[in-house]
């Protein structure tokens, strides 16, 4: 059996805004593996700053915490600590294990982020695509954080980016109807299978199923590609459910964009979606 040695590397480098410190490959749970590590980006001399917790996409089967484009620099320049996490993949583990990995990563952040200048009681959970589903679920189904001894009170905002699975039964039905209309075969490992192949599991892994008034669910900003029928429908669905429960929720549809581009552009100067995110987090970070 091969032994893998993982190194945490601290790097200091200058950005246009301020000096930035990066520590990579920090294990957040046992047993230690590459898929259960996170990276922390912090401004120089950071102290008690709000924290952005980022969950990458990749269909729950691929992707990496290092794929963050302009986000770390954008957020650290604005006075945030930025954390990017890995998690294990389907089909090696099931969907519940993925969500529990995210909860364990947040547990590590809550317990240790003050060492990097972050405020453990002001977390913003964000993610793209598959990461958007995980972000939305962890911020609505409080059982995962409760299992780690935490509550939704530490999360000050949630920003899911272009997810299509906030209501899993809806996307499963939508996909099946579309394939039937077009005479296409069902995929071997599509949404139905990824979420357990069981209607009850589909409901349970849907953020819309767990929204309740007075549950402590944080405010949401739902980013989506304006002309993407699936992600726009899902964003509108979750926003409607949140709003009906009295939870602050906003929609932002990115024009002239697409699924990868909305993620790649997040953090770039003059990007409209980025401006919407900063307005959202600036307002929410001030509330204690």
CATH number at residue 241: 3.40.50.1820
Q: Is residue 186 part of a domain?
A: no
Q: Is residue 178 part of a domain?
A: no
Q: Is residue 192 part of a domain?
A: no
Q: Is residue 179 part of a domain?
A: no
What is the CA angle 222-275-126, rounded to 5? 40
pTM: 0.93
Q: Is residue 198 part of a domain?
A: no
Q: What is the domain range of residue 160?
A: 9-167+206-285
Number of domains in the chain: 1
Question: pLDDT digit of tens for each residue in the chain (288 aa)?
Answer: 333 333 334 444 333 445 579 999 999 999 999 999 999 999 999 999 999 999 999 999 999 999 999 999 999 999 999 999 999 999 999 999 999 999 999 999 999 999 999 999 999 999 999 999 999 999 999 999 999 999 999 999 999 999 999 999 999 999 999 999 999 999 999 999 999 999 999 999 999 999 999 999 999 999 999 999 999 999 999 999 999 999 999 999 999 999 999 999 999 999 999 999 999 999 998 765
């Amino acid at each position: 059996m091969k032994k893998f040695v993982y190194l945490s590397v601290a790097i200091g480098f200058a950005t246009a805004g301020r000096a930035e410190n990066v520590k990579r490959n920090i294990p957040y749970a046992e047993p230690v593996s590459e898929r259960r590590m996170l990276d922390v980006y912090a401004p120089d001399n950071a102290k008690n700053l709000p924290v952005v917790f980022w969950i990458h996409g990749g269909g729950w089967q691929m992707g990496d915490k290092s794929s963050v484009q302009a986000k770390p620099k954008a957020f650290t320049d604005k006075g945030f600590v930025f954390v990017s996490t890995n998690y294990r993949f389907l089909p090696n583990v099931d969907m519940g294990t993925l969500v529990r990995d995210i909860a364990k990563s947040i547990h590590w952040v809550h317990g240790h982020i003050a060492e990097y200048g972050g405020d453990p009681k002001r977390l913003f959970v964000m993610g793209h695509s598959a990461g958007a589903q995980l972000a939305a679920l962890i911020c609505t189904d409080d059982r995962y954080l409760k299992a780690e001894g935490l509550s939704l009170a530490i999360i000050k905002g949630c920003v899911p980016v272009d997810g299509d699975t906030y209501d899993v039964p809806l996307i499963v039905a939508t996909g099946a109807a579309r394939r039937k209309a077009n005479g296409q075969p069902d995929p071997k490992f599509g949404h139905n299978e990824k979420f357990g192949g069981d209607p009850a599991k589909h409901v349970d892994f849907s953020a819309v199923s767990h929204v309740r008034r007075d549950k402590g669910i944080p405010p949401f900003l739902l980013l989506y590609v304006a002309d993407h029928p699936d992600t726009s429908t899902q964003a509108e669905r979750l926003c409607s459910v949140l709003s009906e429960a009295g939870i602050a929720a906003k929609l932002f549809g990115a024009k002239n964009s697409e699924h990868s581009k909305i993620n790649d552009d997040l953090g770039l100067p003059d990007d409209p979606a980025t401006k919407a995110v900063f307005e959202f987090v600036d307002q929410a970070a001030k509330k204690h």
